[in-house]
Amino acid sequence: MVQQQAHLMNQIKSVLLPGSFFEEDYVNKTKYLLSNEIDTIYLFDHSINPVSRNLSMYNLIDGVVKLNHIVKGEKNLGVCVLNVNARQFSTLFYNYIYDFLEIKNFKLGIGSGDNKYETRNNYSNNFEEVINDIKSNKNFKKNNVQLFVGGNSKEKIDLVLKYSLGINQWLGTIEDFQSKSSHYKQIKNPVGELSICLRRNHFENLDNDIFYEKIFIVKDSNTEIFYKTIDNILK
């Protein structure tokens, strides 16, 4: 179970890797993350780079395999977030989720997709059924997998409370995040963390009693700028 009590600090820091991450020197960049106080390395679930169509975009499964080969359990891996409607139900589980559940301490974020960055197929899978099938899988507990939901709707919040899940916010306002925090605090034994995806220096002054995960959205860049970005995140 996820611990809600205070750590030495009220937050942990993680990174969400840009679409072109694997195009240049990804092995050394990953090792640099291993050498720093980064909790989790996340990947997007996109087929088109959300910043620019002219930039490359990694394949999610290929990216996880490459990272897992280097990380070897030294850092957590995760996806933020997996669009559960972009594939047929069987493909979603057999080609994606079951593989993720094999990875110890994997942080699995799920969402329903909003077509903000690209238009994808919508198979309208039952979100609650997806949650149930993940949580009932033997590897979910065995490998201490975390499960969290991205989204702001009342329906999503209700499912978070019903199934004791984590909650993620993409950018947004402090007020939105504090609202999510108030819901999260109602959960006794959550199976995922409270988190927010943000850019550097966003939300500097949240309440100290809120334990949460900051997931920094890293920009596409060359290797040198990537290193500087990580250094700045950890200041």
Residues in the chain: 235
In a domain, 157, yes or no: yes
Residues contacting residue 113 through CB under 8 Å, at least 6 positions apart: 83, 84, 85, 86, 120, 122
4 in a domain, yes or no? Answer: no
Calculate mean pLDDT across residues 57-79. 98
Alpha helices for 146-199 (secondary structure H): 154-163, 174-184
Say whether pLDDT at 223 is over 50: yes
Q: Structurally, how many domains does the chain consist of? A: 1
Greatest alpha-carbon span in the chain: 45
- Confidence (pLDDT) at 5: 41
Structural domain contains residue 50: yes
> CA-CA distance, 216 to 233, in Å (whole number)?
8
Which pTM does this prediction carry?
0.94
Q: What is the pLDDT of residues 113-138, one digit of tens each?
A: 877 777 788 999 999 999 999 999 99
Number of alpha carbons in the 13 Å side-chain half-sphere of residue 30:
25
For residue 8, the model assigns a pLDDT of: 40
* Domain encompassing residue 183: 11-233
107 lies in some domain: yes
Residue 41 domain flag: yes
Whether residue 6 is contained in a domain is answered as no
Q: What is the CATH number of the domain that holds 203?
A: 3.20.20.70
